[in-house]
A and B are shown apart, each in its own frame.
Chain A
């Protein structure tokens, strides 16, 4: 594309038909909103499931008449049965990880803001972009179908956890409730999701590499773009492995292959090969599934959190009114996390029967990944040092992200050690660790992003009053929910138990279990304030101009909401780095990326161009 076409004003008008404009839209902004709506729906499903689980754990055997009415198979007589609980575990994890933590940060905010922040009119492949959303939506519909596809009379969904370990997930109905049609749909849904994410990843990478506007060098990109780019690379390299694994698993279930099923199994009273309901299997490896799954599964953790890190850096700098501390170190840290993230999957498998020597290697690599994570934390604190902090709701959530990222990430030092994994593996310590860091911290990043970019998307502010109440309850709530789970894990409470009443060593934890459930219910209820705020603010929020936060990056030079082609036909030219706040001598305390160089800067004086320091 020549320079001339950049400069010529040729606006792209939006399509006029409702369907092309809002449904099968090629506009990355509309597709981004579609992804976010998908995540907002999915997270309600996932959250409701977590409340049902907490109710069952805290008040076992209680009759909940409404459950009996809604799920006669899963809660006969209103009392939740173990298979219903386990299907909730499975579906909560799957929906949250795939349809919330992977869609909103990347497909949602990334889609909307990556092209604008690099000064592009749209994604490189708009049709591919549309397809990636619709494929993902089909995946979501299939996973919802899995909830209601009763494999046997007494279950309501697949049972296998979000990790779907073989051979439990590979054997079919013979392995018990939750292993029938629902499990097939679960695998198919994930396979569809993989395809959608791959299409998205290709698009992100191509767009970022090829469509940056004039002057937008890589090291002038906002950290959000670095995060979305790295996330896309991780997705490109990891989702195909899961897709392949999922296809093999489906073949084991439907075509009688034996990728993950070894010979000589004796399941539910039947020896493999002696009965048509259990065909002969031989030579498969259950551990192979774990390798394939976690080769995807560990990068997936970073797919969930890197965009939150990017948004946090972006928002912290903006409301600290200060350049990001150590931009270059932040970029290297994102890369280091992404790269190391591919070499640590074995830390999920220390006690799987894998070689103890490779466990040692994975352990040392795992603790190494704490180094770039710590570097990021230090740089966030450095950004706040000497700042002039404006406590908007977006800023509160970004600060909350830093706090929760530390709280959740730091216990990786325990879990990453081979020896300490012996007592801690598959206990609530693990549940606490990954919920804080990959679940709650990522979501805090997305809350921050929502409050921050809402004025750009809708031209109106979200209510700061409601937002702050939402923040305080959620921030205190998540600490009260997940910190006690660490001590549950130390006592030895295993994950994925539908009831703790069988074991006397767990009985002393009951007060904590009840406390966590009560706080969880309160925290979940507070989220409806967020939903109300979202909808209310679209219509009634205070009007916002193009740059309501006095920010510096390209999304703030265009009207709110941006026109169909983002910059009304005139692509911006970038002259400086993304976080030029508090520049001495500048008229305002922020200098836009499009602000041309001054005479002093051009002659090589003590300029503030990018990161010359």
Chain B
């Protein structure tokens, strides 16, 4: 029984570790400037995890193989432990674990401890149940005034834009987010109803959109293309369908798009969506 258990533990360990080597079941290729450091930190952590997991399971298997009861009448070893061992493994694990936690702060700090760099491209994101609304400032770079009391979904004013505000004249809204490649992007995240979450796997980035708050985050995308955007916080019945796309465009193409009036903006985004394929997996 002891040997069977040991072998099963070892087989399960081997299987568990192997599945992490299947390339097809790994992160999709990253497209953001912070992703390389994040992926490296993930890899370091998962290697530490893998080694600790394997060592513990192999050790456990070894114990149950070696110390199974045998016909002899010899007793088990009589010991109540070793203070020295306790001190050693407490210190060693503390160094490794807390070291990882400290290392894990650097990408976080680069994204969250600093404001978005000057000259970032700004988008206001207004999420609502099962729909994304991206509000672009237009040619003047100034967002028109918005007010919840002006929201009227039936008139397609999803973000409550005040049409009487001069800076609102050139604003555009769309369910697709279009950002320039290689330039920092600042999102101002709001929600009209419940909590949603902005999640693009290739960005390695996720942030809740909380009603009553305007959360500012920033990142830089460095790969042109079209990517799927999902809501990653349970927001109700059709949560699984709260899908849109993120277009990462060459700077010139992006600038041209942002200069378009609202009606042409809509059709141009439709064209761009057709033009850029999704990544192949």
Contact = CB atoms under 8 A, between A and B. Distances in A.
A binds B: yes
A490 B199 CA distance: 13
B78 A417 contact: no
A475 B25 contact: no
Contacts of A233: none
Contacts of B42: 414, 420, 423
B119 interface: no
The number of chain A residues touching the other chain, given as a range, is 35 or more
Contacts of A581: 76, 78
Contacts of B5: 391, 396, 399
B193 A175 contact: yes
A438 B234 CA distance: 22
A387 to B, nearest CB: 4
Contacts of B2: 389, 391
A352 B8 contact: no
Given A265-B148, A503-B230, A582-B77, A381 B213 contact: no
B267 interface: no
Contacts of B9: 403
Given A491-B201, A504-B228, A419 B93 contact: no
Contacts of B182: none
A168 interface: yes
The number of chain B residues touching the other chain, given as a range, is 35 or more
A353 interface: yes
A466 interface: no
B275 interface: no
A266 B240 contact: no
B264 interface: no
Contacts of A407: 16, 53, 57
Given A375-B90, A382-B85, A423-B206, A363 B24 contact: no
Interface-central residue, B2, B16, B78, B90, by most chain A CB under 10 Å: B78
Contacts of B129: 175-176, 267-268
A608 B48 CA distance: 39
Interface stretch (A37-45, A195-203, A234-242, A364-372): A364-372
8 contacts: A161-B234, A179-B236, A326-B81, A403-B9, A426-B232, A472-B8, A483-B19, A581-B78
Interface of A: 82-83, 86, 159-161, 165, 167-168, 171, 175-179, 261-269, 271-272, 284-287, 320-329, 351-353, 356-357, 359-360, 363-364, 366-368, 370-371, 374-375, 377-379, 381-382, 384-391, 396, 399, 402-403, 406-407, 410-411, 413-414, 416-423, 425-427, 472, 475-476, 479, 483-484, 486-488, 490-492, 494-500, 502-505, 507-509, 512, 581-584, 589, 608, 611, 613
Pairs of residues from A and B, 9 with the lowest C-beta to C-beta distance, nearest first: A262-B212, A417-B104, A386-B77, A492-B201, A356-B112, A326-B81, A264-B148, A367-B101, A384-B63
Interface of B: 1-2, 5, 8-9, 12, 15-16, 19-20, 22, 24-28, 38, 41-42, 45-46, 48-49, 52-53, 56-57, 59-60, 63-64, 67-70, 74-82, 85-86, 89-90, 93-94, 97-98, 100-109, 111-113, 128-129, 148-149, 151, 153-154, 160, 192-195, 197, 199, 201, 204-208, 210-213, 215, 228, 230-241, 243, 278-279, 281
